[in-house]
Amino acid sequence: MQRWPWLWPWLGFFLSLQVPGASRTPLLLLSANSHLVTKNMNMKITCEVKHSPETSTVYWFRQTLLPGEDINNEFLASYSGKGSVVYGSGSFRASITVSKEQERNVYTLELISAEFSDSGVYFCCIIQAPALIFGPGINLEVVESLPTTKPTTVRTTRKKSCKPKPVDQVEKKGLFCMTLPLVLLVGGFSVLLISLIVTIHLHCLWWKTRLRFLKSMQI
């Protein structure tokens, strides 16, 4: 088994399927500085192992979705607490590095010059006989450029300005204001004159009628 260390994760996975009660637990905590990374940039994913010896070996996997909706699980690398490193047989070997903090039980997987093919769900796990214990996966996406947020625009309401009226309109309004009283005065005088004429005419008719009546009485 020492000649094929990459068989350890698959052996642990096989044992976890055979032994009842073996399940995933929140023993391993993953974190990343971002879930989006631009192409050709570096990316770090950390895996903190709790309630486990510092000499534990941590295995890194990547899960991708192949054409036809087939799930592909890739073994990336493993790092033991004693410092031994084993890489998988894929073409990604030159694009990843694994390490461990000296004073903490924290393991790191670093992607170097990320490519679009590095997108996927990353897992870390340990073997706790007879089970293979996984941490929660982190979905990492490699993009051409990071999305930018549109700046918020503040709409300013324009105050209605009192525009000065044209000179010709002012002159027309002034002329109208001057002629209006004159028109009203002439109209009122005309009404009074017509009323006076009608009154005089009616008075004359009344006198003529009265004179005729008196003459008829004398005859």
pLDDT tens profile 120-135: 999 998 887 777 888 8
Q: What is the pLDDT of residue 211?
A: 74
125, 58 contact by CB (below 8 A): yes
Structure tokens at 120: 């996927």
Average pLDDT of every residue of the chain:
75
CB neighbour class for 6 (10 Å; exposed up to 12, middle 13-18, buried from 19): middle
Average pLDDT value for residue range 144-173:
64
Q: What is the pLDDT of residue 122?
A: 92
- 139 pLDDT more than 80: yes
- 17 pLDDT more than 50: no
pLDDT tens, residue by residue, 92-120: 667 889 999 888 889 999 999 889 988 99
Q: What is the pLDDT of residue 6?
A: 52
Ranges 8-12, 25-29, 35-39, most confident = 35-39
How would you classify residue 178: left for phi > 0, otherwise alpha for psi between -120 and 50, otherwise beta? alpha
Query: How far, in Å, CA of 37 to CA of 143, rounded?
Result: 6
Query: How far, in Å, CA of 116 to CA of 72, rounded?
Result: 16
DSSP summary character for residue 146 = -
What dihedral angle (degrees, nearest 10) is formed by the CA atoms of 65, 67, 71, 76?
-60
- 217 pLDDT more than 80: no
Query: How far, in Å, CA of 97 to CA of 108, rounded?
Result: 8
Nearest to 74 by CA among 56, 59, 57: 59
- 142 pLDDT more than 80: yes
Q: What is the pLDDT of residue 7?
A: 55
Nearest to 77 by CA among 115, 109, 54, 47: 109
Q: What is the pLDDT of residue 148?
A: 76
With a CB cutoff of 8 Å and minimum separation 6, the contacts of 75 are 6, 9, 10, 59, 60, 61, 88
Average pLDDT value for residue range 74-81:
88
Q: Choose between 216 and 176: higher pLDDT.
A: 216
- At 156, the pLDDT band (50, 70, 90 cuts) reads low
Nearest to 95 by CA among 108, 107, 78, 113: 113
User: Can you list the domains of the chain with their CATH numbers?
Assistant: 28-143 (2.60.40.10)
The pTM assigned to this predicted structure is 0.55
- 33 pLDDT more than 80: no
Q: What is the pLDDT of residue 15?
A: 45
Nearest to 76 by CA among 142, 13, 9, 140: 9
- Angle, CA 205 vertex, CA 199 and CA 211 arms, to 5°: 135
Q: What is the pLDDT of residue 121?
A: 92
pLDDT tens, residue by residue, 190-203: 778 887 887 887 77
Query: How far, in Å, CA of 19 to CA of 56, rounded?
Result: 21
Q: What is the pLDDT of residue 16?
A: 44
DSSP string, 52-64: S-TT--EEEEEEE
CB neighbour class for 140 (10 Å; exposed up to 12, middle 13-18, buried from 19): buried
